[in-house]
Structure 1
Amino acid sequence: MLPPLRPLLILLLTLILGDLAAQVAAPDFRCTRSEAGGEILTWENVANDCGSYRGTRIYRAESADGPYALLATLTDPAATEYRDENPAGLQLFYYLNYDYDCPGATVMNSDTLDSFIPVTPAIHFVSVVDGDPVIYWTASPSPEVNRYVILEVTDSGVFPVDTVGQVTSYRVTGLSPDGLLDRRYRVAALDACGNDSPQSAIRSPLGLGGSGGLGCDSDITFFPVVGRDSAGNVPDSTFLLTGADSLELFVSVNGGGYASATKLPATGVPLLTYSGANDGDSLCFYVEIDFAGLDARQRTTTYCQLIDISQPVRDFPLYGVEVGLDGRLRFAYAYPDPLPATYATELQQTGPSGPGRYLDVALDLLTGGEFITAAPLPAVARDSFRFVLTDDCGRSGTSNYASPVILTALSLGTGAASLSWSTLENGLAGTTTYTVYRLAADSTLTPLATGLTALDYLDDAPPTGTPPCYRVEASFRPEGQSEEYTFLSNPVCVARPTEVYLPNAFSPVADREVNRVFRPIFTNPADLSGYRFSVYDRWGGQLFTTEDPLAGWDGTLAGRSAPAGSYVYLVTFTSGGENLVSRSGVVHLLY
């Protein structure tokens, strides 16, 4: 059976309170001071209710680790000082306790103090907060220290600024910003006996300077700035960093609040650079230094600048690529304001279709969030595209690579249509889902499935009669945004179309006549309708077009031989089964 709860609690409280009462508190040992060959010990008495007072005992040793011997027992309960002769000026160590008539009580000892003055506090740095210097230091390890004096070092002497309690920072207010970097400060520790420690090292505020932000130099690079005394000497304001320290740059744009711009580990004195400046911005900066092992951070003075630059091009996100029915490509992207005044545009392609560079494809690319190429461009699964912008200063900005969704379809023996497609790739954080559409002859789209994350779909009941055609739409939502960007795949029909073969090279001087002209080769050219075959140069210029399935390009342009190289083709037609077919690619002209 469990014991009653109330008696148990009373027993526990009795034990706890009994232990607390069975202690004899020690005197409050305040300090020592050297005077005429002796050491004056000073303390404040502490009341004890345990028995009668019998004496105050003083112990001494010549080492902090002892051994300690009883030096004296004072029987006057009001005594608060004692003189110990020390003509040799040795460093001696003392502690005190009381002798009370309290049998069995634990006697507590005071702090152990030595006969020397307090140890100097370690001053770390002077930070600048809203134009005021803030001095930071580590407390003196001497237990007798009860306050600190802040000192300013001038050309004519050292003068006290203020005396504070047991804190480790002090803010100097009411100063003019002029000459702030030339102000120099020390800290000293004091005890209750009036002893003061040696003064700390000198520390001064750290300034921030910068260069750049003019003309074509759109980046701003920062460097530390220290003040000087009247003799031209740099104050003892160290700027020594280790790899464990770090620096963080903060920026205010056009009077707004400060926000972190960049942070990097410190190695030596690293150069911080700000690359987000726009023409006409009014920017202000400061740097905070995070010293490893310290709770406080040093902040520099503020550096401000009005930006007067040729607006640079910037990197920007390209959300995706769409393959149009006519073979042209549609791009959707977001470019940050403001826009550069002038720039050149290059569309780059990589992947199975081969590397491609299309210059000045969109002279006004950045005026909107969407661009459609003027001419068809080849695009197959795993092809990727990106934009490269170059401004008048030779600075470049690029988009990420993005790949289109390429759809393939297979007619199963059951009559069902099996669809699969490549993923919309852009390397950006966000979510992508897919919608499968059935494509009608008039190009209208009927949704079959939405919100898919898989890359395949089975249409197990396609319509009878005409062969079914399909497109897949990718919906991409960038992380942290509500807007979605959609991109359609190439159209695909599942009925077997008229077979077509397209060579990848030809030569007007080939030995065989069939290799001297470039044209599609069909299994049944009479079974075609809506036929068009076109050839373009790599910049989108049309070199040849025909609606005759038997006609081809002989490699000439306006009666003259075109240069050897790579050319883009597009062929579209509808087969006898009413399947819409669109093929594009690259052909090589050889001599």
Structure 2
Amino acid sequence: MYSDTLTTILMEATAINFGITADLAWNPIHVPLLVSSSLNYDLNYINSNNSDNIIANTPDLFYQMDGDNCDYVPKFYVEIPDASGCVSKSSIAMVPLKDTISPVTPIIKDVSVNNLGKAVVSWESSSGADLYIIYLQDANGAWITLDTVSSVLNSYVYQNSFAETTFENFSVKAIDTCGNSRVRSLTHNSILLTNSSNACDYSISLDWNDYINWAGGTHHYNVLISETDANGNVINTIFRLQTATELVIQNISSIATYNIVVEAYNNDSTYKAVSNVLNFNIALANKPLFNYIEYASVNHDDGSVDLSCIVDLSAEIDRYDVYRSLKQDDNFSKIGEVNFSASSPIYFNDKNVLTNDYFYQYEIYPVDTCGQTLYPPPYNLPAYLNDTSFAQTILLQAEINIDYSQVSSLKSEYTNTLVFNEYDKWLGDVSEYRLYRSVNSEPFNLLPIYVWDRVNQPNKELKYIDVVTSFGDGNGRFCYYIEAIEGTATPYGPVLEGSLSNIACISQTPIIFVPNTFTPNGDEHNEVFRPVTYFVSEEGYSFSIYNRAGEKIFETDSPQKGWDGSYKGAQVQNGNYVYHLQFLNDLGNLTEKTDVINLVR
């Protein structure tokens, strides 16, 4: 039968483990515990600061605790409450203890660089630490003590840091108030981000050192780039790199400001180290914002091609390279250069062309002072960013007397048929083509003989049939050219010069009838002997009269002139005379004819 008599509780404390551990034991208040008693004892510890704390709640009658101070005498007791609200308390036991347990070696979380360019060391809190010692490795590899901080802190800002110009190595050691410590932490370094620019390829090269000594290593780097343009618009870009510690940024702008930082991450991204921040804008050569060939036109003086190109004078340019392709072969080759002259537009004359046989395409590209060819749009607006300016000349071709027998209105007519290709490429497109004509080697008429309206009739065939029968009394020489006119829907305004085609000249088939008799008797009928000509050119023309003795008594090189039957101011006798006629046929070959003419008065 159990007694309900309670006994006092005696706490006993003995120092073990070379005096660093308190071995505690106490007797039960009752065997077994009363049903009204708590099942556990509260173990109280009074430390060197006389602070009383419960360090365990246990059903056991023993406990061991390592000392947490240097050469001190802690106190221990237990309490056990019951259901009635009463608390039984043991005696207080004291035991002298020593603290020889070293704090855990700190784990550095990261070394980062703050916005002031100072290195900041952060670490995980170490069990048993009262203080942390911060170390810096100097240029000779020696470790020097920077500072000692309280264990309530787990980061340190190195105020004398030069982390914007060099990377710095740090280590941390934990100690307690008894001087106990273990080895320093693993070395961790700051990340130094540097850059160099290449003005010739408009790039920035970034370079940084490895971040070291995370458990499992550095998993990846993020490069954060913030670009602010001249209008204050911000473009943020992130590059993720697994192992590389360098990056080249292409297509940078000298009118933008860049803010760049590198972040290193450990294996599970729980730790992050941040580099110094680069903030800069780089004085690079300005790229041209536009480049536009405003016309390519055939020069009527020599058949060469004149080019005019509007250029951006704010860009730093060494020269402009001119390229040409035959017709639409898209096989461009460089044909010349125009040096930068700080004037716009620039001009180029291409003499090595056959503009009566072919049309040509041209491209003009600026070349910067680094020798790099640039490809700006024709105008500085987003709508034109994917365009490249080029120009295509006009080839006008002419052919005489094509068989139009199936066209009733053209039967028995002498015709010149004209065809030509489109001009390409104006920003305002072509509004109209104008056809001009010269007859009998006279100057061109100032008014066009025909106009193609490309605004209202954009698909009309670029062909014209010129009926020239009524010009038979002339020399049969016809010349034509086309003038292209730019439309108004262009940011530059229509180019005043337009674009001219080649001058296409043709000669109609010459027709000659020579009578066999003439009567220069003063009756104003048949008074002059001359061949009846139709479309006969003065070029190569010669008409001569000879008497029976073979003496030349008349000669002319004009198809409009004839012999009046006189020689040296006197009328010749009736009779037969010999004429000699030569002229150019429709193939351009010299044709000769000799026969007899009978003069009768």
TM-score, normalised to structure 1's length?
0.40
Higher-Rg member (1/2): 2
TM-score, normalised to structure 2's length?
0.40
